């Protein structure tokens, strides 16, 4: 279930996600688009796996900020081809571009990795 304070922020455009460096233990913050659906936040990143994504694989505890409000959660990289990955694609595409066909959504995310955050 999405925290009531978080629910009010779903119209915000950006999320700042802070992971813990797997080598340095230093905070690593990135700015991304996000969407909320069924109590989870979804993010995507096009291209190869980045340091912050590797950090999530090492330690799933993250901090995130939306609209000046801070939250904690657990992040996980989604497997392509799963129902949850499809849900993430639809949530993200519809938030920023509106409804469209499955083919367009699949093409849009063809080079992307999908991440979910479950707020704590």
Structure-token match 């519809």, residue found: 94
Predicted structure pTM score: 0.91
Pick from 68, 109, 70, 65: which is nearest to 86 by CA? Answer: 109
Pick from 88, 56, 75: which is nearest to 119 by CA? Answer: 75
pLDDT digits (tens, 9 = 90+) for 66-95: 999 999 999 999 999 999 999 999 999 999
Distance CA 87, CA 79 (A): 12
Question: CATH assignment of 4-119?
Answer: 2.30.110.10
pLDDT digits (tens, 9 = 90+) for 15-62: 999 999 999 999 999 999 999 998 899 999 998 889 999 999 999 999
Sequence spans of domains, the chain? 4-119
């Amino acid at each position: 279930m999405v925290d009531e304070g978080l629910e009010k922020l779903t119209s915000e455009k950006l999320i700042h996600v802070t992971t813990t460096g797997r080598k340095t233990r230093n905070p690593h913050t990135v700015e991304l688009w996000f969407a909320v659906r069924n109590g989870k936040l979804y993010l995507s990143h096009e291209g190869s796996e980045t340091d912050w994504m590797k950090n999530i694989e090492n330690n799933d505890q993250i901090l995130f900020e939306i609209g000046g409000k801070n939250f904690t959660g657990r992040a996980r990289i989604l497997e392509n081809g799963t129902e949850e990955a499809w849900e993430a694609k639809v949530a993200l595409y519809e938030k920023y571009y509106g409804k469209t066909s499955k083919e367009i959504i699949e093409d849009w995310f063809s080079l992307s990795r999908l991440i979910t955050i479950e707020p704590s």
